[in-house]
Amino acid sequence: MTVEDTVTDPPLKMTLEISKQTRDHAIALLDLASSHNPTSPVSSDFQLQISKQQKLLITYLAQLRGLHRDAHVGARQTKAQTAEARQEIDRLHLALQNLYYEERHLQGEIVACESYDHKYQQLPLIPIDQFLADHPEHAGADEVALTIARIDHEHAERLALEEQRQALLRKKQGLIADNKKRKDDLANLDKDLEKFIDVRYNILLSTMSMTDLRTRPPNPSRRHLNVDDIPNSNYPTRTPACVPSSQDDLRGILCFNAALAGGLW
């Protein structure tokens, strides 16, 4: 492959053509100068012919120099354009690498989002068939809208249950307060009953002391006394009563009498 086949740029092709013409003309001028006999005198026609050929060669050289300068400037411009194009390619390559990196990052985020354990997946939602049976207006909804509707339904149900729990809690607090009030009333009633027992105990003790003096038998070891055994007794005949031997027995009798809402005396 020759140089002419390699070079395709028109200015460079012209430069190569002028260079070839300049070389041929220089060779022709050398041949013309060497054809003259050095020993013979140079004629004016020969000198004129040599001068014309030299001027033509200088013209070719000046033209070749201009083309060389233009080619050099063109080479600089081409280098600058090549550098700009290379920078643009580098910028585009860097942008492409950034896009690849962003794509991999987004793919990782998508995988992470798909594998994320969402809280709504742990909610005890009712089955879809039961939800659609209770709410047929969501029959044509997609999966996302259906999931949101189920979550809203669960939220409403929990709010209703929370209201019921609060109501039951208030009812419980009321029952506790009522029970406490009743306990306080029973405690006050116990105190009143204790006071009543003490008063009746004192009355009964004093009454039994007087009765014991009237009905004491000759034998001190006798614990049971009948009124009929006392001579010239003015008391009516009645069932024998048990004479208490201690204060505890007396309190027992008094409590029994208080429970019967009456007394023996």
Give me 3's structure tokens: 């140089």
The pTM score is 0.37
Residue 217 counted as domain residue = yes
Tell me how far the alpha carbon of residue 63 is from its chain's centroid: 80
Is 97 in the same domain as 172? no
Residue 25 counted as domain residue = yes
Lowest mean pLDDT among 12-16, 20-24, 88-92: 12-16
Give me 200's structure tokens: 């009746």
Given a cut of 70, is residue 50 above it in pLDDT? Answer: yes
* DSSP summary character for residue 139: T
Is 48 in the same domain as 100? yes
Which pLDDT score is estimated for 179? 93
Lowest mean pLDDT among 93-97, 135-139, 187-191, 252-256: 252-256
Residues 6+ apart with CB under 8 A from 70: 11
CA 115 – CA 152 distance, rounded (Å): 23
Given a cut of 80, is residue 214 above it in pLDDT? Answer: no
Q: How many domains does the chain have?
A: 2
- The string over 197-208, giving b where at least 16 C-beta atoms fall within 10 Å of a residue's C-beta and e elsewhere, is beebbeebeeeb
Is 72 in the same domain as 166? no
Better-scored residue on pLDDT, 224 or 15 = 15
- Host domain of residue 158: 144-259
**Domain final position from 98, 114, 130:** 114
Residue 197 counted as domain residue = yes
Q: Encode pLDDT of 143-202 as tens digits.
A: 888 888 888 888 899 999 999 999 999 999 999 999 999 999 888 888 888 888 888 878
Which pLDDT score is estimated for 198? 83
